[in-house]
Amino acid sequence: MSGTLIANTPIAVDFWRIQKKRHARLFFLSHMHSDHTAGLTSTWRHRIYCSPVTGKILHHQLQVKKSLICSLELAVGHKIDLDELGLQTMTVTLIDANHCPGSVMFLFEGYFGTILHTGDFRYHPSMLQHPPLNNTRIDVLYLDNTNFSPNKKLPSREEATKQIKDIIKEHPEHDVVFGLYKIGKEKLMVELAKEFKSRIVVSPQKLELLNLLELEDVFEAGGGAGRISVVQESDVNRLNMNHWNQAHPTIAILPTSRPAKEWHKNYDVHVVPYSDHSSYQELQEFLNILKPCSLEPIVKHQMCEVLLKDYAQPLKKPLLEIKVPPSVQVFMMGLGCPERYGQGKAAKRQVVQAARQIPKGVVFEALEEHAHASKDLRGELQSVLNSCAAGSLCHTEDCTNRPLSYGPKKNDGKKGRYSILPRKCVPWRHIKKL
C-alpha cells in the first residue's frame, strides 16, 4: 500500500512521498500502521488531518509536530478549504473503520462529487445503517480489497477469538506468546486477559503506546506478570521459539489472515485467521448496499482488479466529468503557498505571474465573501482569475478530450460556476513547468 492521490484534487490519503507529486496539498492519514505512514517522518512540514487517536499516536511514534496535526472529530462534517483563498471548500467526514485504534474512513464531498476512501477497514453492517453512509451516492470508492478473493474464507472476529481461546485452553501448562504489529488487536488481548485472568506482558515501549489509548488496565511491562505476552510479529521465529521453550513450554499465536508457513507446525506456532480487514463476503455485502459508481482497489493486483470490475458493475450513473475549479488548480500548483513563494512583493509577483498560466474560460464567484484571504493577494488574484473568463477553456497541446462546450462560458448570474475540464484536460504540463 503506497497511498492514494485522488485524481483531479489536491487530496492525498496515506501518501507522503510528495517530491514528485507536488500538486498534493491536503494530507489525510487513515491510521498508524507502518504501510500507511511510509515516508512520514519528524521532518514533515505540512498539516495532517486524522482522527484524535491517530493524532496522539502520530506524535508519540513519529514525533510529527503537534502544530501540524489536525485532529478531526468522527461522524461530523468538517469544512476544509481547497484553495488559498477559501473560494472552494469540501466537507470531510471521518467514519470509524473498525480496523485498529484511531483508524478511519474518509468521506469527501466537493466539486469532485462524493468520494469514500476506506483506508483499511473491517466492514460492519452498522457502517451503512447510519449517517453519513446510509442512502449516500458514492461516485468513487477507494476500497480496502485485501481479502477480496472468493477462495479466501475468513471467520468473523468473534469466531476467530473463540478459536484462539480454544487453543489456549488446550495448552493449560504453556506460556502463550502473541506476535502482533505495533498497533492493533488490543480488544482481543483485553478479552483474553479477562477470560484467562492473566495480565498481558508487553515491552515498555508498547506499554507507553497502550497508555495513550486509555484501554482497560490489563497490560504490564516486564516478565513474570502473566502467562500471556505480546511481541513483534517478526519476533515469532524458530530461534526465539527454541529459546522460549528452553525456559518454559511455550506456544505462539499469530492472529492474521496471512497463510501459515511450513515451519509453524513443527514449532507449535498457531496461525488463526483473526483479521482486521473485511472478508470477501463482507466486501460483497458492502458493495451490494453501497453500489458505488466507480471503484478503485487500494491493494493493486491484477486478479483482484478483474474480479472487482466484474463484480461491481456500476448500478448508478457515473460522473462523466470532473470540474476542477481554477482556484483549486492555482492551489495545486502551490501558488500563494508561503512555503514555496515566501512573503513580500516579489513573492506576490511570482504568485500572480504563475496564476496567469491556469486554463482560460472560467467564471468566479466574488472574492469579497472570503474575508479570511489576504486582502492584497485576493485583489491581485481576482483580477488575474477574472481575465481567465474571456479566454478559451483548455489550451494544453496534448489534450485530445476537449468537451463539446469548448469555449468561454457565459455568466448567467449564478455564483460559483466554472467551466468543465474533463479528466484528461487537467493541465499537468503547467504544473510540471512551475
Q: Cα Rg for the chain, rounded, in angstroms?
A: 25
The least CB distance from residue 62 to Zn ion, in Å, is: 16
Nearer to Zn ion, 120 or 186 (CB): 120
* Cell 479528466, residue located: 423
User: Whose Cβ is closer to Zn ion: residue 265's or residue 300's?
Assistant: 300
> Rounded to an integer, what distance in angstroms lies between the CA atom of residue 268 and that of residue 254?
11
Nearest residue (CB) to Zn ion, 35 versus 369? 35
Q: Which stretches of the chain bind Zn ion, using CB under 5 A? A: 1, 33, 35, 120
Considering the complex, state which of residue 256 and residue 419 has its C-beta at the smaller distance from Zn ion: 256
Q: Check residue 11 and give left, alpha or beta (phi > 0: left; psi -120 to 50: alpha).
A: beta
Q: Distance between CA atoms of 256 and 273, rounded to whole angstroms?
A: 5
CB of 1 to Zn ion, least distance (A): 5
Q: Contact 254/269 with Cβ under 8 angstroms?
A: yes
Rounded to the nearest angstrom, the gap between the alpha carbon of residue 104 and the centroid of all alpha carbons in its chain is: 7
- CB nearer to Zn ion: pick between 174 and 277: 277
Nearer to Zn ion, 212 or 347 (CB): 212
H/E segment holding residue 157: helix 157-170
Residue 157 CB, nearest distance to Zn ion (Å)? 15
Q: Which is nearer to Zn ion, 93 or 98 (CB)?
A: 98
Sheet of strand 26-28: strand arrangement: 4-5, 11-13, 26-28, 48-50, 69-71
Q: Please, what is the minimum distance in Å from the beta carbon of residue 33 to Zn ion?
A: 3
Sign of CA dihedral 22, 24, 26, 27: negative
Cell, residue 258: 496471512
Task: Give the contacts of 123 (CB within 8 A, at least 6 positions apart).
Answer: 98, 278, 282, 283, 285, 286
Q: Closest separation between CB of residue 98 and Zn ion, Å?
A: 11
Q: Least distance to Zn ion from the beta carbon of 410, Å? A: 48
For the bound state, the minimum distance from the C-beta of residue 298 to Zn ion, rounded and expressed in Å, comes to 8
